Amino acid sequence: MAAGAEGHPLEGVLGVAVGNLHTLVLLPDKALGFGHNERGQLGDGTFASKGKPVPLSLPAKALAAGYAHSLILSPEGRVYAAGSNEEGQLGESGGRPRSRFLPVEGLPPVVGIAAGYFHSLAWTEGGDLYAWGSNLSGQLGTGTVESSPRPLKVLERVGSAVGGGSFTAALLQDGSVWVTGLDSATFRRLEGLPKARALAAGRAHLLVLGEDGQVYALGENEEGQLGDGTREGRLEARRVEELE
């Protein structure tokens, strides 16, 4: 059980987001952050790391954490960003880190957010997915490798999305899964999967929870993270058989 700034347990936790070295926690009446803060990712106006939870400066409906940047989704559907910005992941050019949460301009009201290492994602109730920040591996899905500090609409009919180190995966409203950045700069559908229920992303691998209750994996596998008993990566999703 997590402990708050006074050493008391954090009760009623609604969600957590974890960056490389910082943590965000969503509670019913506030949001907290702690850990590494040398890029300003806790948004408290300083660049000093925090060993205990400190309040985030805005009310939050959802939180997302990249490698060293943080996103807040407000109850009104606005996205706010703080922290590292070398690839425009805060939604502005200039490259300088920022220790205060400011709104990401150019977005309609959204219902969900996610973050990769150096890129950011948001999607609307209608399913429009927006992406901005680093695109060096094609993780924005624009067909190029040109990074963008401006949010770009990149996919439709999206129900949720996740960001990996340098890729994006989207779960569409019809249960199909689409990825970009693993092997191309445009979204491609993952074939051979049942309808998906949820996604989870590591630095360079993706897990898919199917509606059949099975877990499917693809991506890099140098440490056995695909769970198939090998260290061979792959670009097609296969069931993790040991979880049956």
Can you give 60-78 as a three-state secondary structure string?
CCEEEECCCEEEEECCCCC
Looking at CATH, the fold of the domain delimited by 15-194 is given as: Methylamine Dehydrogenase; Chain H (2.130.10)
Q: How is residue 241 annotated by DSSP?
A: G
What is the Cα–Cα distance from 109 to 243, expressed in whole angstroms?
Answer: 39
What is the Cα–Cα distance from 70 to 34, expressed in whole angstroms?
Answer: 12
> What six digits make up the tokens of 240?
């993790």
Q: Are 202 and 213 in contact (CB under 8 A)?
A: no
**167: nearest Cα among 188, 181, 154:** 181
**234: nearest Cα among 220, 222, 224:** 220
Tens of each residue's pLDDT in the chain, 244 residues: 455 545 667 889 999 999 999 999 999 999 999 999 999 999 999 999 999 999 999 999 999 999 999 999 999 999 999 999 999 999 999 899 999 999 999 999 999 999 999 999 999 999 999 999 999 999 999 999 999 999 999 999 999 999 999 999 999 999 999 999 999 999 999 999 999 999 999 999 999 999 999 999 999 999 999 999 999 999 999 999 988 7
Q: Are 139 and 152 in contact (CB under 8 A)?
A: no
> What six digits make up the tokens of 144?
């190029």
Q: What is the pLDDT of residue 69?
A: 99
Type of residue at 139: Q
Size (the chain), residues: 244
Q: What is the pLDDT of residue 1?
A: 46
Q: Where are the domains of the chain?
A: 15-194
